[in-house]
Amino acid sequence: MKLLFFDIDGTLIDSAHFHFDIPDEVLKELKRVQAQGQKLFIASGRPAPLITPEIKLGGFDGYILNNGGCVFADGKSIYEERMGKDLVKDITDVLLEIGCEYLLDSADKAYMRKDFKATEKHYVDSGVVADFTRDYVEEDIMGEIVKMEILPMACDVVEADRVLKERLGDRFRSDVNGALGSFEIYAPSLSKATGLRKALEHYGLTAEDAYAFGDGVNDIDMLKFAGTGVAMGNAIDLVKESADIVCPPINENGLATILRELFPD
């Protein structure tokens, strides 16, 4: 049995061009590979409320969410790592000071402040359906947070990263999602590779039993960790250099092509 780990945006779906369904040809290949006895996992920066019904059609056996901060296998939670209330408070204080909107993600919720209109507009305009929690007291939920996210249409993410690192040093880890250009912040010890390791341990497997597929900077660690790392043809060079294989880009059905090559009947 092998475990296959798939990034979402830029890998399974072409969200950069507002295509939010997994292509039929890819769905067919996912089902075929799963029928061979392999386990299929999502490995995404997304929180649980942004795992849409269209994505769930893939019939995945498990989910690595929030860049490895939450791991679910066979319908149950097997791992969670939170940022810590003090760190979240310090980061939000800085972001509010420089006028930067943000999202707060826990294991099962995505929090969006009611006054963050630019972020709200992005989700309305893009057609992404997500069950955001809008009515909450921020101080009360900071201890639950696993990941933070900043959308580029709501803030200068380069400047936000610079100021945060200047003020808070190495207390957090950050990267930019390749498909959407969103800026993600999480615990310094965390990566998608952390999630892969926990999922493999759950089944008594090793890194050699893992296949990872991705296109973004936040996929690099898992591409390097997995026995076989596959970068999408639409990935930037830094991601491709971290992979064992580069498949055709998403708009050429690259994922379906490489699945047929790696897991023939």
Residue after which a domain boundary falls, among 132, 157, 186: 186
Contact 65, 51 (CB under 8 A): yes
Query: Are 19 and 142 found together in one domain?
Result: no
Residue after which a domain boundary falls, among 136, 165, 186: 186
Query: Are 95 and 171 found together in one domain?
Result: yes
pTM of the model: 0.90
Q: What pLDDT, in 10s, does the model give residues 191-215?
A: 999 999 999 999 999 999 999 999 9
Q: What pLDDT, in 10s, does the model give residues 111-136?
A: 999 999 999 998 888 777 678 999 99
Q: What is the mean pLDDT of the chain?
A: 93
Token pair for residue 124? 């309305």
Q: What pLDDT, in 10s, does the model give residues 65-105?
A: 999 999 999 999 999 999 999 999 999 999 999 999 999 99
Domain of 228, in residue numbers:
3-81+190-262
Using the predicted structure, report yes or no on whether residue 233 has a pLDDT greater than 70: yes
Average pLDDT of the segment spanning 11-38: 92
Using the predicted structure, report yes or no on whether residue 178 has a pLDDT greater than 60: no
Q: What is the CATH number of the domain that holds 108?
A: 3.30.1240.10
Contact 11, 244 (CB under 8 A): no
With 0-12 CB in 10 A as exposed, 13-18 as middle and 19+ as buried, what is 80? middle
Query: Are 231 and 166 found together in one domain?
Result: no
Bigger pLDDT: 19 or 121? Answer: 121
Overall number of domains in the chain = 2
Token pair for residue 120? 């709200």
Residue after which a domain boundary falls, among 186, 217, 240: 186
Query: Are 114 and 168 found together in one domain?
Result: yes
